[in-house]
């Protein structure tokens, strides 16, 4: 999907109970703004050994770079007993490698992937910087990653999957003034200034429908504020609007009053549920959207009000529902959650608003909310 949020790079859901995204907070997209993974085939014939360009293979085992990481992070319990591996690259082509170091183990079922909870960058002076630290065993990287020249500068692609959500990600790195820099958004053009087709004065006199149409046509961008308070902008100029391709699926559906103010809000259906837009006073505001399979977005009617619903019902071992009621000022005036978790023996523990409840009480509340 081509949705790109302009404040953070999150690969998975941002609601309280959802799995945390892969990587550190980053001015840029999402979520459901997932980066496209780099195309690297496991049977590539471009393998090289000098780390200057092409396909870089992950090298298992210890070296001076992994030793530097071990000394840097030796107090971290998660690296004890794990294996080290590294991608060796030479950004400045001076014959001295830098390295991206992983700590984990190879995927037993897929030899093209390698599990790692954390990623470090080690420069040629063996100075260590931690890039990511999820401590999450579900993150895998490709054994072969791409390293190529872009506009005269070397760029390393660090890509893989969060296997829990089956979400791909890809980050792009360059060496800037001796320090590693995430240039994903710069290269993808996400930091380019958006040029609106309309002036502020023209927007202020447009009807809600005209504003929404202009947004869908890529002529203006929308503001967004998510349920965690993150803000930014989103535009549709790169959207495909395909109803047939589920990787690029967006479709305008019937508007509905989802913020309980008596006025209709505009809705776009996506592979991860709906996106809700309030269009008035010369601007378009997105205030709810799906963030992945762990936070699929929809709406329901409950107690004579409309509630935005985020749900995770597609993963083994848990079922989660988080509901929010908005008012006409796009503020959350009420919320509730209902979920269960399953332990390794298959025993379930049930919760309502984070308080443990019985299975019978859970079923009663579920029936009351969803009418089933």
Residue 188: partners with Cβ closer than 8 Å, 6 or more residues away: 4, 35
E strand or H helix that includes residue 206? none
Least confident of 131-135, 174-178, 275-279, 281-285: 131-135
Lowest model confidence (mean pLDDT) among 1-10, 128-137, 148-157? 1-10
SS3 26: coil
Position 294 scores a pLDDT of 80
Tokens of 66: 């992994």
Task: Assign residue 282 a region (left: φ > 0; alpha: ψ between -120 and 50; beta: otherwise).
Answer: left
Half-sphere exposure of 184 (CA within 13 A, CB side): 27
pLDDT band at 121 (very low <50, low <70, confident <90, very high): very high
Cβ–Cβ < 8 Å for 7, 231: yes
DSSP for 153-173, please give it: EEEEEEEEEETTTTEEEEEEE
3-state class of 359 per DSSP? helix
Burial class (CB in 10 A: 0-12, 13-18, 19+), 81: exposed
Residue 7: predicted pLDDT? 29
- Angle 55-58-64 from CA coordinates, rounded to 5°: 120
Cα–Cα dist 264/328, whole Å: 11
Cα gap 58→348, rounded to integer Å: 40
Q: Is 165:12 a contact under the CB 8 Å cutoff? A: yes
pLDDT of residue 239: 80
Is the pTM above the cut of 0.85?
A: no
Q: How many CB atoms lie within 10 A of CB 54?
A: 17
End-to-end CA distance of the chain: 33
Q: Helix, strand or coil for residue 20?
A: coil
pLDDT attached to residue 235: 87
Query: Residue 306 pLDDT > 50, yes or no?
Result: yes
What pLDDT is stored for residue 152 in this prediction? 84
Per-residue confidence band for 360, with pLDDT thresholds at 50, 70 and 90: very high
Structure tokens at 64: 């001076």
Maximum mean pLDDT: which of 18-27, 100-109, 230-239, 272-281 = 272-281
* 69-97 confidence digits (pLDDT tens): 988 887 665 566 678 999 999 998 899 99
A 10 A CB-CB count for 90 gives 18
Beta bridge partners of 315: none
Taking the C-alpha atoms of residue 207 and residue 211, their distance in angstroms, rounded to an integer, is: 6
Question: Does the pLDDT of residue 34 top 80, yes or no?
Answer: no
Percent helix, strand and coil across the chain, each rounded to 5? 10, 40, 45
Helix (H, G, I), strand (E, B) or coil at 182: strand
Contact 13, 294 (CB under 8 A): yes
pLDDT (tens digit per residue) in 2-28: 333 332 222 233 333 333 333 333 333
Q: Which of 133, 143, 172 is nearest to 22 (CA)?
A: 133
For residue 218, give the nearest of 202, 239, 187 by alpha carbon. 239
Mean pLDDT for the chain overall: 80
């Amino acid at each position: 999907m081509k949705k790109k949020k302009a404040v953070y790079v999150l690969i998975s859901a941002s609601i309280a109970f959802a799995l945390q995204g892969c990587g550190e907070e980053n001015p840029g997209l999402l979520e459901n703004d997932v980066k496209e993974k780099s195309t690297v085939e496991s049977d590539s014939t471009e393998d090289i050994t000098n780390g200057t360009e092409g396909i870089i293979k992950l090298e298992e085992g210890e070296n001076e770079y992994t030793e530097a990481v071990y000394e840097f992070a030796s107090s971290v319990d998660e690296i004890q007993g794990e294996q080290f591996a590294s991608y060796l690259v030479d950004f400045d082509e001076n014959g001295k490698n830098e390295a991206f170091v992983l700590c984990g183990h190879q995927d037993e079922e897929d030899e093209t992937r390698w599990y790692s909870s954390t990623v470090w960058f080690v420069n040629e002076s063996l100075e260590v910087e931690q890039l990511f630290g999820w401590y999450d065993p579900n993150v895998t990287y490709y054994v072969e990653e791409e390293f190529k020249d872009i506009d005269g500068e070397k760029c390393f692609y660090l890509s893989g999957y969060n296997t829990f959500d089956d979400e791909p990600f890809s980050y792009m790195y360059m060496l800037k003034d001796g320090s590693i820099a995430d240039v994903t958004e710069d290269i993808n053009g996400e930091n380019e200034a958006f040029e609106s087709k309309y002036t502020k004065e023209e927007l202020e006199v447009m009807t809600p429908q005209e504003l929404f149409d202009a947004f869908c046509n890529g002529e203006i961008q929308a503001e967004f504020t998510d349920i965690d308070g993150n803000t930014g902008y989103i535009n549709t100029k790169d959207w495909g609007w395909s109803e047939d391709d589920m990787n690029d699926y967006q479709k305008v559906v019937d508007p509905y009053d989802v913020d309980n103010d008596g006025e209709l809000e505009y809705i776009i259906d996506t592979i991860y549920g709906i996106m809700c837009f309030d269009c008035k006073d010369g601007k378009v505001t997105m205030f709810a959207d799906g963030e992945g399979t762990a936070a699929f977005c929809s709406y329901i009617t409950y107690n004579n009000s409309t509630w935005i619903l985020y749900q995770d019902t597609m993963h083994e071992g848990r079922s989660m529902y988080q509901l929010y009621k908005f008012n006409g000022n796009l503020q959350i005036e009420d919320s509730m959650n209902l979920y269960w978790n399953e332990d390794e023996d298959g025993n379930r523990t049930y919760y309502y608003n984070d308080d443990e409840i019985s299975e019978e009480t859970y079923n009663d509340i579920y029936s009351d909310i969803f009418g089933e």
